[in-house]
Amino acid sequence: MEEEILRLYQEPGIGASYTNTYGEENIRNLLNMYHSLDDAGMQQMIKMVLNFSQSTDLATSFVSVGVLHALEQNEGVAEAYRWANTQEDAQRIISHFEIGKSVADYFSSD
């Protein structure tokens, strides 16, 4: 499962196409995977996404925050923001988190 989740973060490439300019497909695909899992799988995936939400790789962290936001994992989102505020480029990270949340709001409602 871990390999599949990692693949969904990377494919398709963010910004590589008009349909995935801001990670729309990555977020949607991760949400679809989450909803296809049993309870134990869902919990395992949430743990992974929580860890990824505190990645210094902006694409990974903002997609993760978008997924957490769409799944109403409010404490996980709050923890990501707390982590971001400890980073040297906190405002840049937080602005990317806001993009991830907006993308999740728009594209996860399909």
- Residue of higher predicted confidence among 2 and 85: 85
pLDDT, one tens digit per residue, over 9-41 is: 999 999 888 888 889 999 999 999 999 999 999
pLDDT of 110 > 80? The answer is no
What pLDDT, on a 0 to 100 scale, did the predictor assign at position 106? 86
Query: Can you tell me the distance from the alpha carbon of 65 to that of 62, in angstroms, rounded to the nearest whole number?
Result: 5
pLDDT tier at 107 (50, 70, 90 boundaries)?
A: confident
109, 23, 37: which is closest to 66 by C-alpha?
A: 23
What pLDDT, on a 0 to 100 scale, did the predictor assign at position 18? 86
pLDDT of 43 > 90? The answer is yes
100, amino acid identity:
G
